[in-house]
Amino acid sequence: MILVTGASGKTGRAVISALTRRQASVRALVRRDDQVQGLRALGAAEVVVGDLRNAQVLSQAAKGVKAIYHICPNVSPFEVEIGSAVILAARQEHVSHFVFHSVLHPQIEEMPHHWLKMRVEERLFESGLPFTILQPAAYMQNILANRDAMHNEGIFAVPYAPETRLSMVDLEDVAEVAARVLLAPEEHLMATYELCGCQAVSQIEVAEIFGQAFGRQVTARAIPREEWALRMQELGMDAYALNTLLRMFVYYETYGFHGNPKVLSWLLQRAPTSLEDFAARVAAG
């Protein structure tokens, strides 16, 4: 049995799908009752409902599992508190493998959601648990928020300069690596892997690649960050997440976000999904 925390998000669902395709037995930990049915449909054998900061819930979820794949809710101010609690539960239940879903370059203090993951990695180093850390780049799937605008209007709008260069990775590749690591732990104990699918590309190049896939011209355009923030506030984004993401956009625009795909190629034993292939998949789908 493998426990996946934060299981209802896109990462958790992708990892569960990758595991169940390989006939692994999965227990999912989610926040709400209304998330249970969807995870059972993905093949989760068991679903535990509760708060990741509740020690009793974590003890119940970790009991009897062979491994934990820990995903913290996205941009959580409680990242370190939650990570520490899950690590403690893993120790108390004698879990034999802890896999932490971190982020590429958690060393960057200017991006708080990265920096907090570094603090969880530190807790894991000190825990005595056999561990593996995965550090994925930004997901190619994040581009899909702009899919309709690109397809219908030919606009790819981002809250930073179009020249900003970012490395990305296909979430499906990340999930495949997660499954491989979880199902063959002896090959990956005490390892930290950067998961990057491509060298950094500009947002202009992203627009061109999707334009080719959609068969129309797509132009990258910067939108004012104040406009983006107002829209997110209207959609209910909390102040911590809003400030954190705005700081990330400034960092991206100033320095870019660069990674190397060699480690992912080695883990997959094939070339990672290219942005061109991802765009073609989106256009076909």
Query: In which domain, by residue range, is 183 found?
Result: 2-137+169-196+259-268
What's the pLDDT score for residue 123? 98
Rounded to an integer, the average pLDDT of 100-128 is 98
Quick check: 285 pLDDT over 90? no
151-181 pLDDT, tens per residue?
999 999 999 999 999 999 999 999 999 999 9
- Averaged confidence pLDDT in the chain: 97
Does 228 map to a domain? Answer: no
| Helices 79-92 and 55-62, packing angle to 10 deg | 50
Quick check: 31 pLDDT over 90? yes
What's the pLDDT score for residue 86? 98
Does 56 map to a domain? Answer: yes
The alpha carbon dihedral of 196, 199, 200, 205 has a sign of: negative
Does 225 map to a domain? Answer: no
CA distance linking residue 281 with residue 285, whole number of Å: 6
Rounded to an integer, the average pLDDT of 82-101 is 98
Rounded to an integer, the average pLDDT of 59-75 is 97
Does 65 map to a domain? Answer: yes
Rounded to an integer, the average pLDDT of 254-265 is 98
What's the pLDDT score for residue 209? 98
- Is residue 39 very low, low, confident or very high in pLDDT (cuts 50, 70, 90)? very high
Does 284 map to a domain? Answer: no
The residues near 264 (Cβ < 8 Å, ≥ 6 apart) are 169, 173, 177, 193, 194, 195, 196, 197, 272
What's the pLDDT score for residue 117? 98
Rounded to an integer, the average pLDDT of 187-203 is 97
Q: Beta strands 2-4 and 26-30: pairing type?
A: parallel
What's the pLDDT score for residue 95? 98
Does 250 map to a domain? Answer: no
* Count of CB atoms situated within 10 Å of the CB of 166: 20
Domain CATH for 17: 3.40.50.720
Does 95 map to a domain? Answer: yes
The domain tally of the chain equals 1
Does 59 map to a domain? Answer: yes
What's the pLDDT score for residue 5? 98
User: How large a percentage of the chain has pLDDT more than 90?
Assistant: 100
